[in-house]
Amino acid sequence: MSGRWEEQSTPFSCIIDLFEGIENLSGRGFELLNVPEDLKTLKRSEQKIADMSRKIEETLLSLDTEAIDIASDILDTSDTNLSEHKSQMERLSSQTAINLENLQKQYSEYQIEEAKFEQTLKRLSKVSSVSIKTPHGDKSLELKHGRYRYRHWVEDYQGGEDTRWLNTLSSSYSEVGEKRRKELKKARASTSSEMNRVKISLQNRVASAKEASAKAANEELRRKRDKEVMSIAKKGGFIVKRKKVGKKVQYALLRRS
């Protein structure tokens, strides 16, 4: 008998969403018959990315990312323990630099795994056909112009094929795709944005700690110099008056009466 090939319009452009859409219908008589090895690799990679993303988030939460204010007036008070202050800032600078390095390492590993995921997905997108068991028998979807399409033979003067299974699969595919895109977009944007924020904050923290350490060292030298000036003046019978003008310090020697 004569007939024609008929091609059904389908939304199946993303093979990973198609596979998951089929898997979600396993309780309704659907099953993927040709499971590519890359699909297993992709699932492992996807789980690894999720675990790494969670680990990065935990690391971010454990870090104190607030910039530390070092009040300059503290350095001018006589009871400030400058040596201890300097040591604290040096330790803070060192530890923050280590935290930043570890965080960058985690994020680099995350990006490497993400690249592997995309490479595997790219290979999967070249799969030419997908065989499916459905409630209406075994079916095959063929890749054509970027979509997996269902093509079947229709005999003349006969009723068309029951394609309700295709409508069911299309709905499952759309639900999976919408959910995946939202989660992936949110996860990537959140991780990238948070990483940038924390990296900048930690870098500022390192710089602040180094600056504070330098200020403490300079103040330590100033006070040592003041003591030496006072000692020399005292031996010569003078009184030293110290006055700060802007960033400069002026000394006046007054002879004891």
pLDDT in tens, 167-197: 999 999 988 887 776 666 565 555 556 556 6
SS3 content of the chain, % helix, strand, coil (to 5): 60, 20, 20
Residue at 151 is within a domain: yes
pTM: 0.52
pLDDT, mean of residues 200-213: 59
pLDDT at 125 over 50: yes
Does residue 248 sit within a domain?
Answer: no
- 142 lies in some domain: yes
Q: Would the pLDDT of 163 be above 80?
A: yes
- Please report whether residue 136 resides in a domain: yes
Q: How many domains does the chain have?
A: 1
Tell me, what's the pLDDT at 252? 63
Mean pLDDT (the chain) is 74
Could you tell me if residue 214 is inside a domain?
yes
Residues 6+ apart with CB under 8 A from 5: 151, 152, 153, 154
pLDDT(158) > 80? no
Q: Does 240 map to a domain?
A: no
Higher pLDDT, 196 or 113: 113
For residue 235, is it within any domain? no
229 in a domain, yes or no?
Answer: no
**Containing domain of residue 157, as a range?**
3-222
pLDDT per residue as tens digits for the range 44-56: 888 888 888 788 7
